[in-house]
């Protein structure tokens, strides 16, 4: 894990050296909406999410998000509806490495719920716990930001490690679009997002 964090930081730092001096620092005050494709135990669910973060002073920030993904599986006996919901709320700290690169850490509360509906019957279950994330964000050019992180989630029934990467393109000072991919032991997510910075 330490090697992955070090390698990600080194690669992004190398990119920041090549970035123009006018490139700004990563921005933390934003809200976003996203389309998500979630692979859970060989099933692909699709849905939407909303997330945001806000700086509290120069270094601390709050972050949170909600997402829902679902799938309607047709069987010979009827349809099976699958729903997967996640919630997260965290407190983070950012540390500038240079004028355009930040490393950060987040401590968060994580909640996951799944529900299956079939022929009028419903079965649901969930789990929650705490997450610990470290990562790096860098404006490698004036318009392009790259990010990478590792998160450990300790839930009541088990634990998981999540590896995530992202790329963001700034169309204007306020509006951006990005893609992201995260991989866990039994949950992989691909997202396309639109951001508004304030």
pLDDT tens digit string along 136-160? Answer: 999 999 999 999 999 999 988 789 9
143 vs 41, residue with greater confidence: 143
User: Residues 135, 123: contact at Cβ < 8 Å?
Assistant: no
* 100-117 average pLDDT score: 95
Reduced to 3 states, what is the DSSP secondary structure of residue 6?
Answer: helix
- The sign of the CA dihedral 126, 31, 57, 134 is positive
Nearest-10 Cα torsion for 44, 66, 132, 190: 30
What is the CATH topology of the domain spanning 2-197?
Porin (2.40.160)
Answer whether residue 20 shows pLDDT above 50.
Answer: no
Distance in angstroms (rounded) separating the CA atoms of residues 11 and 192: 23
What pLDDT is stored for residue 8 in this prediction? Answer: 47
* 111-135 average pLDDT score: 90
Q: Where are the domains of the chain?
A: 2-197
> Could you tell me what percent of the chain has a pLDDT over 90?
70
What pLDDT is stored for residue 17 in this prediction? Answer: 44
- Mean pLDDT over the full length of the chain: 88
User: Residues 134, 108: contact at Cβ < 8 Å?
Assistant: no
What pLDDT is stored for residue 50 in this prediction? Answer: 98
- Give 93-160 as a 3 state SS string: EEEEEECCEEEEEEEEEEEEEEEEEECCEEEEEEEEEEEEEEEEEEECCCCEEEEEEEEEEEECCCEE
């Amino acid at each position: 894990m330490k090697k992955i964090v070090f390698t990600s930081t080194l690669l992004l730092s190398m990119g920041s050296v090549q970035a123009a001096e006018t490139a700004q620092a990563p921005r933390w005050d934003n809200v976003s909406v996203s389309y998500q494709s979630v692979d859970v135990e060989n099933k692909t669910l699709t849905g939407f999410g909303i997330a945001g973060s806000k700086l509290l002073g120069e270094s601390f920030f709050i972050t949170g998000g909600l997402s829902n993904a679902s799938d309607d599986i047709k069987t010979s006996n009827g349809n099976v509806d699958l729903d997967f919901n996640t919630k997260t709320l965290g407190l983070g700290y950012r540390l500038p490495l240079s004028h355009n690169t930040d490393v950060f850490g987040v401590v968060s509360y994580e909640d996951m719920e799944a529900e299956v509906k079939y022929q009028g019957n419903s079965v649901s279950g969930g789990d929650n716990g705490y997450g610990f994330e470290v990562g790096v964000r860098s404006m490698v050019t004036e318009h392009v930001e790259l990010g990478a992180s590792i998160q450990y989630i300790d839930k009541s029934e088990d634990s998981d490690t999540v590896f995530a990467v992202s790329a963001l393109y700034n169309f204007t000072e306020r509006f951006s679009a990005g893609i992201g991919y995260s991989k866990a032991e039994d949950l992989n997510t691909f997202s396309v997002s639109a951001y508004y910075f304030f």
